[in-house]
Amino acid sequence: MSQEVTEEFRLLCMLHNIGATKLEKSLSIQEICEWTAMETSSVQFHIQKLVELGYVQPTEAEGTGKYHLTPNGIRKVLTLYS
């Protein structure tokens, strides 16, 4: 393949594979960093972009921002393997 997947798409895939695909399985930035071994600033930057693109849904739980994939985010991830 001539095109490489972007960093934000790589993060979207990891969020999907971890299981952050519904509201009750939303993850905080800190949890995402722990799962993915990515830097906090990098996760924040890419998550913001994914939210803007409509692939990730932000929610507020116990005063902390949490994130999970939207149905379109799930579909986008699955195109990599289908």
Beta bridge partners of 69: 56
Q: Of 29, 33, 51, 74, which lies in the binding site for another protein, with binding defined by CB under 8 A?
A: 74
59 is a site residue for another protein (CB under 8 A): no
Among 60, 62, 63, 79, binds another protein (CB under 8 A): 79
| β pairing state of 27-28 and 64-69 | antiparallel
Alpha carbon distance 82, 74 (integer Å): 12
Nearer to another protein, 2 or 63 (CB): 2
- Which single residue is written with the structure tokens 């830097």? 39
Q: Which residue has the tokens 């969020």?
A: 15
Contact between 5 and another protein per CB under 8 A: yes
Which residues from 27-46 bind another protein, rule CB under 8 A? 35-36
- Phi and psi at residue 71, in whole multiples of 5°? -55, -40
Q: How far is the CB of 31 from another protein (least distance, A)?
A: 12
